[in-house]
Amino acid sequence: MRCAECTELLSAYMDDELMRDEQEAVREHLATCSECAREEQALAGTSRRIKENLMRHATPDVLKARIRNSLARDDAFTPAPVPRRPAWTRWPALAAAGLVVAVASSTIAASLTRRSLASDAIAETIVDAHIRSLMPGHLTDVVSTDQHQVKPWFNGRVDLSPAVPNLDSAGFLLTGGRVDYVDGRAIPVVTYTRRQHVINVFAEPADGRSSSAHETRNGYHMVEWQSGGLEYWAVSDLNSAELEQFIALFKRG
């Protein structure tokens, strides 16, 4: 193994995420290369310091409830009505145009604020559903490695049919599916594993807007994309590079 290859695999090696032959190759190289060994020690020290000083703040349940309640109220974001102009008032044309622009801007800002809050609340709910699924007995309702069994299972249980590609040859093993609830809606979830890491793929009808996002919440990576009229979210604690590889294969599959 060359130094460049070893350096590229160091992070996955330290997280015990490599295949057995890759892990053994890195271990042998570190035993004979002092420069790569120093790099490994430096990464270990940095990781240790980060974990020692890391602070995580959980979202209070009260705040979550307030956000959901505010989203449920359609009138919460309705702009105030424009006062009628008295008959005796003579406003310049420029001032009238300015008022129209101001009202339109307020409407757009309110719409964007509502969309932003809604997306954030949904993302939080999906991550919560992913964490809940990791409890014993909650991951799958149908256990199967056959896509021709998993995909038909959703018929009659949800009103859409998610993609269920078979990615076993790439090391992402199909394990089954379930029906979960996000923001009060029943949606399909297809489950995969990569070594000891679980990947949940949630799906629901796309809302017509272009969306693509990659973020980390509570230590879990979450990627959102749209394909075939559906909106997907993949959630996992798998490292970002392999999760992106999984999504690329999922789209092609």
**Is-contact 175 143, C-beta < 8 A?**
yes
Does the pTM of the predicted model rise above 0.75? no
**Is-contact 135 129, C-beta < 8 A?**
no
Contacts 24+ apart (CB under 8 A), 78-86: 78/110, 79/103, 79/106, 79/107, 79/110
- Whole-angstrom CA distances from 27 to 10, 15, 38 are 10, 13, 13
Residues of the chain with pLDDT under 70: 50-66, 68-70, 72-119, 208-212
Which residues neighbour 167 within 8 Å (Cβ) at sequence distance 6 or greater?
A: 173, 174, 192, 246, 249, 250, 253
pLDDT of residue 202: 96
pLDDT of residue 107: 47
Task: Please provide the DSSP assignment of the chain as one string.
Answer: --HHHHHHHHHHHHTT-S-HHHHHHHHHHHHH-HHHHHHHHHHHHHHHHHHHH----PPPHHHHHHHHHHHH-GGGGPPPPPPPPPTT----HHHHHHHHHHHHHHHHHHHHHHHHHHHHHHHHHHHHHHHHHTSTT-S-SEE-S-HHHHHHHTBTTBSS-------GGGT-EEEEEEEEEETTEEEEEEEEEETTEEEEEEEEE--SS---EEEEETTEEEEEEEETTEEEEEEESS-HHHHHHHHHHHHH-
Tens digits of per-residue pLDDT, 188-246?
A: 999 999 999 999 999 999 876 656 678 888 889 999 999 889 999 999 999 999 999 99
pLDDT of residue 98: 56
Q: Annotate 139-173 with b (16+ C-beta within 10 A) or e (fewer).
A: bbbbebeebeebbebbeeebeeebbbbbbeeeebe
The CATH class of 61-83+91-252 is: alpha beta
Domain parsing of the chain, residue ranges: 3-53, 61-83+91-252
pLDDT of residue 145: 95
